[in-house]
Amino acid sequence: MDIVEFFQQSAGKWASIRTNHHLSTEQAGQQSDIKGQSEIQIELLEKTDPAVVQLCQIHQIDPQQSLCGVRFTWNGQMNQAQASGSTLLVPIEDAERSNQGTLLRSQAQSEKTPSIGCYMMGNSDDLILIAQNDTLYVEERLWFANPNVRLRHSTMKWQGSFSSTSFCSEIRLGGQPTGQAAATRAQVSQ
């Protein structure tokens, strides 16, 4: 499976249950868990989509180098606080290694600029995403237990502060049938 096929299989509406675990280095030994749930909508976009083209141009990358775009929209709760938002990811394949590359991400609410990370498809069809800036390192692993169950594990490390891990289980509520993946792949690749 390549990254476009992974995102094709991800397209649709998902119910997500998340548990975060925080370990503060300032208060060694104190731990806190945060639980939440949300609905996530994942939409596969063609590389000619205006949002994909714009994000590539912001990073001064030729949009033709992009493989596709993926828009994530979520709405839910974390410890009874509303959490909603949207982000766009655009993978750019490495010219020498087809299983990895650069990952462009639209600007998050807490960031001043859009960010660049990297991705790698593992041998067991898992997707590893890494993003890093001056204060934060994030590594996330995503995989499918079956076509309608997706799992995510992430680790976040803040410089000089604390670390956090999370685990999400996501169940498909609806969306693109898996039998249409090949047809969509042909459309996105054009």
> How far is residue 131's CA from residue 89's CA, in Å, rounded to a whole number?
12
> How far is residue 176's CA from residue 87's CA, in Å, rounded to a whole number?
20
Backbone angles phi, psi at 179, to 5 degrees: -70, -15
Residue 29's DSSP bridge partners are none
- Tokens for 151, please give them: 């799992």
Please name the residue that has the structure tokens 């593992």: 122
Q: Is the pLDDT of residue 97 over 50?
A: yes
pLDDT of residue 25: 46
Q: What is the pTM of this model?
A: 0.83
Please name the residue that has the structure tokens 């991705």: 119
Domain 3-189, architecture per CATH: Beta Barrel (2.40)
What pLDDT, in 10s, does the model give residues 56-89? 999 999 999 999 999 999 998 877 778 888 999 9
What is the arithmetic mean of pLDDT over 160-186? 71
Strands (E), the chain: 12-24, 31-45, 69-78, 81-93, 100-105, 115-121, 127-132, 136-146, 149-158, 162-174
- 109 neighbors 126 (Cβ within 8 angstroms): no
Q: Degrees (nearest 5) of the Cα angle 120, 75, 34?
A: 75
What pLDDT, in 10s, does the model give residues 119-169? 999 989 999 999 988 788 899 999 999 999 999 999 998 887 778 899 999
Q: Is the pLDDT of residue 53 over 50?
A: yes
